[in-house]
Amino acid sequence: MDFKEFEKSIITDYDAMYYTRGRDGRKLDRIVLHHWGSRGQRFWGIINWFCKWNTYKTSCHYVVGEGKVAQIVNDSDTSYHAGNWDWNCKAIGLECMPEKHERDLHLTAKLVAFLWKRYGKLPVYEHRDIVSTSCPGIWSASEVTRLAEKYYKGSTIKTSKTKTVKDFFKVQLGAFKSKKNADKYVKQLKEKGLDAYVISTETGKGKKTPVKSTSKVDLIKKGQKALGVNTTGKMNKETKDKAIKTLQKALNKTYGYNLAIDGSFGPVSKNSLKSHYAERGDKNDFVKAIQILLLLNGYDLVVDGSFGAKTLRVVESFQSENRLTIDGNAGFKTVTKLINL
Ligand SMILES: [Zn+2]
């Protein structure tokens, strides 16, 4: 693995609220694995918790999840993760996503290999080796160590195919003479059991081909119907108001916020989007609110609250046409643009 590249990919913009400078005279000699406990919690939510809202005075050095690594306490400082002062002073604590997705397992192993490169081969422990706890759940120190050895040695590692967004086959229209040919290719891939779909951001001539089949009037009507307002087919105050209220309600319900349902998406509402986003596989009211907003913006899809391949394609298309980063995640920037009706 490329250790320099790895170092560059580490997010270092956030600092944990609680930690102690230095290591109380002790020497760093181990790594401790943790998981953040409840499934469904998201990477940015955990970062926010450690760095903004933490009331338990805990911390860790690195947070790993959803394909991202963030360092929130320096290696040379002591973070509060092991529940034991001596261990805290000697260890680097890694906080991992409880779901242990394949890509995060590999990323954690890479992080361990990266730390070995810096400090020598520190042994990896599980939190339950120190105190009585179920942490780190399904994570295993021996599994991470085994994989880290491979990354450390630089051997090629085959990762098994798991369905993360990056593994989907995005068939670019631009590579085909016609949409029909692209569709045919997608069909062939699907027959092989692969999850493929066409992204239609570019054609061979460099023209944008939006995912639009029905007229915008009909799509707005569809969105209005989902909102339960008059189906005029034209954007108006009533529709926008209801769409934003629906979004606020969804944020409250999905993420436990207490936003005022006032139809005006102010700083407090916007802030709530900084630690949450919807991505493929999500099923909740937040996804539903986003789907309605996409309809009102002239993008056709089914409003079912389920973020599947079609919703992903539409989100990517919307991002592409609005010059946003095309990552298929509907977060702060994408939603802010969506409500700009
Ligand atoms: Zn733990």
Q: What is the 3-state secondary structure (H, E, C) of 151-202?
A: HHHCCCCCCCCCCCHHHCEEEEHHHCCCHHHHHHHHHHHHHCCCCEEEECCC
Peptide bond into 136 cis (omega under 30): yes
pLDDT at 295 over 50: yes
Kindly give the distance from the C-alpha atom of residue 115 to the centroid of ligand 1, in angstroms, as a whole number.
19
Stretch 279-301: mean pLDDT, rounded? Answer: 94
Stretch 169-184: mean pLDDT, rounded? Answer: 64
Kindly give the distance from the C-alpha atom of residue 118 to the centroid of ligand 1, in angstroms, as a whole number.
23
pLDDT at 63 over 80: yes
The sign of the torsion formed by the CA atoms of 325, 330, 331, 332 equals: positive
Stretch 171-183: mean pLDDT, rounded? Answer: 64
Residue 227 included in any domain: yes
Please indicate whether residue 180 or residue 248 has the higher confidence score (pLDDT): 248
Kindly give the distance from the C-alpha atom of residue 48 to the centroid of ligand 1, in angstroms, as a whole number.
18
Q: How many domains does the chain have?
A: 3
- What are the residues whose beta carbons fall under 8 Å from the beta carbon of 12, sequence distance 6 or more? 70, 71
Residue 128 included in any domain: yes
Position 177 scores a pLDDT of: 58
Are 145 and 254 within one domain? no
**pLDDT over 70 percentage in the chain:** 85
Kindly give the distance from the C-alpha atom of residue 44 to the centroid of ligand 1, in angstroms, as a whole number.
18
pLDDT at 64 over 70: yes
Kindly give the distance from the C-alpha atom of residue 70 to the centroid of ligand 1, in angstroms, as a whole number.
17
Position 184 scores a pLDDT of: 76
Among residues 133, 153, 173, which one ends one of the domains?
153
pLDDT at 34 over 80: yes
β-strand 30-35 against 124-126: which pairing, if any? parallel
Kindly give the distance from the C-alpha atom of residue 124 to the centroid of ligand 1, in angstroms, as a whole number.
13
Position 168 scores a pLDDT of: 46
Residue 158 included in any domain: no
Residue 142 included in any domain: yes
Are 262 and 198 within one domain? no
Kindly give the distance from the C-alpha atom of residue 78 to the centroid of ligand 1, in angstroms, as a whole number.
15
- What are the residues whose beta carbons fall under 8 Å from the beta carbon of 284, sequence distance 6 or more? 250, 253, 254, 278, 305
Domain that holds residue 269: 216-339
Are 188 and 240 within one domain? no
Instruction: Tell me the backbone φ, ψ of residue 221, rounded to 5 degrees.
Output: -60, -45
The CATH number covering residue 59 comes to 3.40.80.10
Stretch 20-43: mean pLDDT, rounded? Answer: 91
Contact 259, 272 (CB under 8 A): yes
Are 10 and 145 within one domain? yes
Kindly give the distance from the C-alpha atom of residue 34 to the centroid of ligand 1, in angstroms, as a whole number.
4
Tell me the per-residue pLDDT of 94-134, one tens digit each, with 9 for 90 and over.
999 998 999 999 999 999 999 999 999 999 999 999 888 88
**pLDDT over 90 percentage in the chain:** 59
Kindly give the distance from the C-alpha atom of residue 95 to the centroid of ligand 1, in angstroms, as a whole number.
7
Position 14 scores a pLDDT of: 92
Are 177 and 286 within one domain? no
Kindly give the distance from the C-alpha atom of residue 250 to the centroid of ligand 1, in angstroms, as a whole number.
31
Residue 159 included in any domain: no
Kindly give the distance from the C-alpha atom of residue 132 to the centroid of ligand 1, in angstroms, as a whole number.
10
Rg (CA), the chain: 23
Position 165 scores a pLDDT of: 34
Kindly give the distance from the C-alpha atom of residue 330 to the centroid of ligand 1, in angstroms, as a whole number.
30
Going by C-alpha positions, the residue among 103, 118, 102, 104 that lies closest to residue 33 is 104
Residue 319 included in any domain: yes
Tell me the per-residue pLDDT of 217-269, one tens digit each, with 9 for 90 and over.
999 999 999 999 999 999 999 999 999 999 999 999 998 889 999 998 888 88
Position 156 scores a pLDDT of: 65
Kindly give the distance from the C-alpha atom of residue 13 to the centroid of ligand 1, in angstroms, as a whole number.
23
Kindly give the distance from the C-alpha atom of residue 166 to the centroid of ligand 1, in angstroms, as a whole number.
29
- What are the residues whose beta carbons fall under 8 Å from the beta carbon of 338, sequence distance 6 or more? 290, 293, 294, 297, 318, 330
Single-letter code of the amino acid located at 111:
L
Structure tokens at 221: 């009507």
pLDDT at 200 over 90: no
Kindly give the distance from the C-alpha atom of residue 82 to the centroid of ligand 1, in angstroms, as a whole number.
6
Kindly give the distance from the C-alpha atom of residue 134 to the centroid of ligand 1, in angstroms, as a whole number.
8
pLDDT at 167 over 90: no
The CATH number covering residue 242 comes to 1.10.101.10
Are 171 and 137 within one domain? no
Going by C-alpha positions, the residue among 42, 50, 44, 49 that lies closest to residue 18 is 50
Position 205 scores a pLDDT of: 37
SS3 string, 209-252, reads CCCCCCCHHHHHHHHHHHHCCCCCCCCCHHHHHHHHHHHHHHHH
DSSP-based three-state secondary structure for 81: coil
Position 176 scores a pLDDT of: 62
Are 270 and 187 within one domain? no
pLDDT at 209 over 90: no
Stretch 273-300: mean pLDDT, rounded? Answer: 92
- What are the residues whose beta carbons fall under 8 Å from the beta carbon of 223, sequence distance 6 or more? 239, 243, 292, 293, 295, 296, 303
Q: Residue 198: pLDDT band by 50, 70, 90 thresholds?
A: low
- Other CB atoms within 10 Å distance of the CB of residue 147: 19
Stretch 32-37: mean pLDDT, rounded? Answer: 92
Kindly give the distance from the C-alpha atom of residue 93 to the centroid of ligand 1, in angstroms, as a whole number.
9
Are 27 and 144 within one domain? yes
Stretch 287-297: mean pLDDT, rounded? Answer: 96
Position 173 scores a pLDDT of: 57
pLDDT at 202 over 50: no
pLDDT at 204 over 90: no
